[in-house]
Amino acid sequence: MNQYDVTVIGSGPGGYVAAIRCAQLGLKTALIEKYPTLGGTCLNVGCIPSKALLDSSEHYHNAHSVFAEHGIGLENLTVDMNRMIDRKAGVVKANVDGIVYLMKKNKIDVLTGVGSFVDKTHIIIAPTEGGEAQTIETKNVIIATGSKPTVLPFIAQDKERIITSTEALNIREVPKHMVVIGGGVIGLEMASIYARLGAKVSVVEFMDSLIPTMDRGLGKELKRVLGKIGIEFFMSHKVTGATRAGDVVTVTATNPKKEEVTFEGDYCLVAVGRAPYTAALNLEAAGIEMEERGRIKVDAHLQTNVPGIYAIGDVVRGAMLAHKAEEEGMFVAETIVGQKPHINYLLIPGVVYTWPEVAGVGYTEEQLKEQGKAYKVGSFPFKASGRARASGDTDGFVKVLADKTTDEILGVHMIGPRIADLIAEAVTAMEFRASAEDVARMSHAHPTYAEAM
Ligand code: FAD
């Protein structure tokens, strides 16, 4: 029987980063993945393919709707969905192949199959495509099995017309009318892709604001700007069902006046969040405790109630973000060898890759009010930025929240061009506990979007 210092279950950004760090620290490491490709949700059906399609659809949208204003004329503009989806598949392949290379380079044993606990120190790997199961012995385990799309129990998802984000990344035609249930990050990114390609898109949201966990001002501005590309929003609507007849899907909802309304389209995307994924792990065999919402319970060191068994990423509490999972992967590897790592969860930025992009880090204004903290606000609109005027991207703003007495930056929230990259400046400043004045006195190249900071 093969023996390991550490066995990582799941090869997403949490798992593969944890495996690499363990190997770098001299631990004999195995990585178990049930799918034939590595990289988990993020690389296969999440961050990377969605960004590939967001970029493709943005090119089309600009050619269709923006180039003319720059004096560029185009005739016979077309969209080849097969080519777009194939390109996306190529981008995914390059990324997942990169992980295979990294595993080899770091001498990590990749075991393909479904991993489940036999007991605290033994894991059985059942191959998904036939063959014999193998059992390994391990001193430590890192569970990084991620998450799956949440299903609404009253909606039968056929994964052809009533779909999740996974299928939405593979539609080989431009939908006529896509009804998106959920105005969160994934729903809005998918809505943007198809609206830019010419589909009619209706977003039906239960809450009265978009991206409600981020600073309130961001969702408000995003709704206004996405409205300009034709996305229609139905806020405070409670979806009650979705059915399919042939190629037609009908979504029913109750509006704020308590009336029943229906939406008819050719696709319905259910994007109401994601749930931790622990099926098949047989956690009971190791005596691992769970907590609410199907998450694995962990302590401040990301250790479960069983010594030597850790859990990271989407399967534990906290934001479901790839870079959060990565941080936790590093953290656990270093903890196992006795180091004293640290994660500042407040400084894990959140980003939405719509156009304009949305990003935030630190406390929101709502949180500061709730805490009764004295703060001041500085806000700069992109319409006053020379760089933004030159490119024609004048929607949005950068908002900095700072402590009223000490001037320490407490939160930065932005919506605007390329701010998914600009948020890194806010993270750096806050990591070094900069004051708002520190950042204001740094030289920012002119003209750049970064000057808005
Ligand atoms: P996952 O990436 O979910 O990986 C878990 C892996 O474990 C999977 O490969 C699974 O097959 C495997 N597994 C599960 N059970 C077993 C088992 N028993 N045996 C063997 N293998 C098993 N986050 C961002 O930060 N930025 C983004 O732009 C972004 N965009 C997204 C877009 C979409 C459409 C979606 C769906 C998600 C997006 N996310 C984004 C979220 C991000 O993908 C997740 O937060 C991240 O992948 C979580 O990483 P993880 O390692 O915890 O789990």
Q: Residues 244-249: contacts with CB within 8 Å, 24+ apart? A: 244/158, 244/160, 244/161, 244/162, 244/268, 247/161, 249/161, 249/162, 249/179
pLDDT band, residue 141 (cuts 50/70/90)? very high
Residue 413 is predicted with a pLDDT of: 98
For 251, what's the count of Cα atoms within 13 Å in the CB-facing half-sphere? 29
d(CA 323, CA 250): 37
Residue 20 is predicted with a pLDDT of: 98
Please give the distance, rounded to the nearest whole angstrom, from the Cα atom of residue 42 to the centre of ligand 1: 5
Residue in 114, 134, 117, 95 with CA at minimum distance from that of residue 34: 114
Which residues are tagged catalytic?
446
Please give the distance, rounded to the nearest whole angstrom, from the Cα atom of residue 114 to the centre of ligand 1: 16
130 pLDDT more than 90? no
Ligand 1 atom at shortest distance from the alpha carbon of 14: 51
Ligand 1 atom at shortest distance from the alpha carbon of 313: 52
Please give the distance, rounded to the nearest whole angstrom, from the Cα atom of residue 317 to the centre of ligand 1: 14
Residue 425 CA from chain centroid, whole number: 20
What secondary structure letter does DSSP report for 65?
Answer: I
Please give the distance, rounded to the nearest whole angstrom, from the Cα atom of residue 314 to the centre of ligand 1: 7
Residues 195-219 have pLDDT tens digits of 999 999 999 999 999 999 999 999 9
- Best residue among 111, 128, 145 to mutate for probing ligand 1's pocket (most ligand atoms within 8 Å of CB) is 145
Residue 128 is predicted with a pLDDT of: 86
Torsion sign over Cα 444, 446, 448, 451 = positive
Ligand 1 atom at shortest distance from the alpha carbon of 319: 45
Residue in 288, 274, 360 with CA at minimum distance from that of residue 325: 274
Q: Take atom 9 of ligand 1 and give the residue whose Cα is closest.
A: 40
131 pLDDT more than 90? no
Residues 353-372 have pLDDT tens digits of 999 999 999 999 999 999 99
Residues 150-195 have pLDDT tens digits of 999 999 999 999 999 999 999 999 999 999 999 999 999 999 999 9
247 pLDDT more than 90? yes
